[in-house]
Structure 1
Amino acid sequence: MEVSLFTKLAAEFFGTAILMIFGNGAVANVELKNTKGHQAGWLNIAMGYGFGVMFPVLMFGSISGAHINPAMTIAQAVNGMFDWSLVLPYIVAQLLGALVGQLVVFATYYPHYRETGSADAILATFCTTDAEGSRSNYFLNEFFGTLVLVLGALCCLSLSWGEKDPAAAAIVVGFIVWGLVTSLGGPTGPGLNPARDLMPRLLHSLLPIPSKGTSRWNEAWIPVVAPIVGAIVGAFLFNAFFAA
């Protein structure tokens, strides 16, 4: 079935919004004061991000490929796996989806944002930071995390078994994200996705939230650039070693 560009962009928009609602919504549930899930722990957050990727891939994989991540889109284009003419429209849809998804998180947790006095807790529900304040560690964590994510996702979705059973492949991709958040997520969050970090950080700087503190724009380039570079390397490794 031929899918229109509008439908593909709608899939990227809604897919990225769902990622934000599940992922950053899970962070808000854990970090913000007086929620039902306050201090529920890291596994709650990891599960949110895992499901936040799994469900859009199940829903929209056959429509747009469910990139829901500018790093994935750019990496595939650089490695000859995606049409360059679609890169900018896909990224715009992903950025807008991330913006809307984060607005949903803010709206649903609004009373808890007002009650939370910790600037770090509030910022964590929007974007990433490095736990040790190290920019080099920040970059390395986001680079390797996204590399593993893209390599794993492409292996699942593009190899013969995944093409024969895309639903199973989508579920495994969700578990890859879940596992990455539990294993490599400690230093930075993680982001693994420029849209997931950049647009919520922008909203953090604009929204009237008491006690929100700084948006840390001086390091905002890291969770944008590092995932893109990591994704390009991950897609290259897939093409070099595993693509048919």
Structure 2
Amino acid sequence: MMIELFGELLGTFILIVLGNGVVANVNLDKTHSHGAGWIVITAGWGMAVFVAVLSTADLSGAHINPAVTLGLAFSGLFEWAKVAPFILAQMLGAMLGALTVYIFFKNHFDTTETPGVKKSCFCTAPAIRNYTSNFFSEVVGTFILVLAVLLITMPQLEYESFGSTKVGLGSLGALPVALVVFAIGLSLGGTTGYAINPARDLGPRIVHWLLPVRNKKDNTDWAYSWIPALGPVTGAALASLIHYFISCNC
């Protein structure tokens, strides 16, 4: 099981280095791509998913997202006993990825004055703070992601034991899932920054809270942090319910 856990840690680390990296590249002052805009960020996140899944699919199934792990477990395709270790590995990978981004862009973090801009390189925030609609945004975005993952996974299930830790995305699923994430970002991401992944938001948020980010002003925003954590879990549960009806021809 250790190789599967390492795969989840590595995959989530790659996801955050490239995903939060593109946010830092666009948002922080005095980078060559400063101000490049939302299309660059959404494309960068899509490619981050592609590289992470392609790199680790053969190690762990490349869940790289607690919502995906839970969606597979809710659907009976992944052992519940292995859910917590997978999520812990994903959280650790996300935290190491966020730390790496901070070190990589340290000069630009120091140059940038706006605390909110710097926080955006770690975790998400709502464009308009309304917890009900923010929660709904994360539920819908994650529902689409996890349903797509479950449907992409379906053709390979007959070749794999449902108890195998490697049930998840094969390497051939890397591009389809990357395009799904790209589409979610383009179409739905503007309301909350589309966390659609509890580890992607909570792990880097903890790192932001711990690091001595200059001019941080204690704006980690823990009051909002439950939205990108529980919204994706709810979306994953709904996706697994729809997947059940599809797979059993109910």
TM-score category of the 2 structures, normalised to the smaller one: over 0.9
Other-structure match for 1:178: 182
Aligned equivalents of 2:182 and 2:200: distance in 1? 16
Contact 2:62 2:170 in 1 (8 A): no
Query: Match of 2:189, as an amino acid?
Result: G
Other-structure match for 1:230: 235
Query: Match of 2:87, as an amino acid?
Result: I
How many residues are matched?
238
Q: Does 1:191 align with 2:187?
A: no
For residues 8-47 of structure 1, what are the structure 2 equivalents within 5 Å? Answer: 8-47=4-43
Q: Deviations over 1:173-210 (max 9, x none)?
A: 11110111111100011100000000111111111112
- Give runs of ≥4 in structure 1 deviating > 6 Å: none
The Cα of 1:166 is off from its aligned counterpart by 4.4
Q: State the TM-score, normalizing by the size of structure 2.
A: 0.90
Q: Deviations over 1:6-44 (max 9, x none)?
A: 100000000000000111100000110001110011111
Other-structure match for 2:135: 139
Contact 1:76 1:232 in 2 (8 A): no
Q: State the TM-score, normalizing by the size of structure 1.
A: 0.93
Query: Match of 2:215, as an amino acid?
Result: S
Query: Match of 2:151, as an amino acid?
Result: C
- Of 121, 126, 137 in structure 1, the residue corresponding to residue 122 of structure 2 is 126
Query: Match of 1:211, as an amino acid?
Result: N
Aligned equivalents of 1:15 and 1:29: distance in 2? 21
Query: Match of 1:239, as an amino acid?
Result: Y
- Residues 157 and 75 of structure 1: is their aligned pair in 2 closer, same or farther, counting only changes over 3 Å? closer
Q: Does 1:239 align with 2:211?
A: no
Aligned equivalents of 1:228 and 1:104: distance in 2? 27
Aligned to 2:223, the other structure's residue is in SS state: helix
Contact 2:68 2:149 in 1 (8 A): no
Q: Deviations over 1:202-237 (max 9, x none)?
A: 111111112223111011111100101101111221
- Structure 1 segments unaligned to the other structure (5+ residues): none
Q: Deviations over 1:156-186 (max 9, x none)?
A: 232369x8x9444321111110111111100
Aligned equivalents of 2:58 and 2:239: distance in 1? 22
Contact 1:155 1:242 in 2 (8 A): no
Aligned equivalents of 2:80 and 2:13: distance in 1? 23
Other-structure match for 1:211: 215
- Structure 2 segments unaligned to the other structure (5+ residues): 160-168
Other-structure match for 2:225: 220
Q: Percent identity?
A: 39
Q: Does 1:202 align with 2:198?
A: no
Aligned equivalents of 2:64 and 2:140: distance in 1? 19
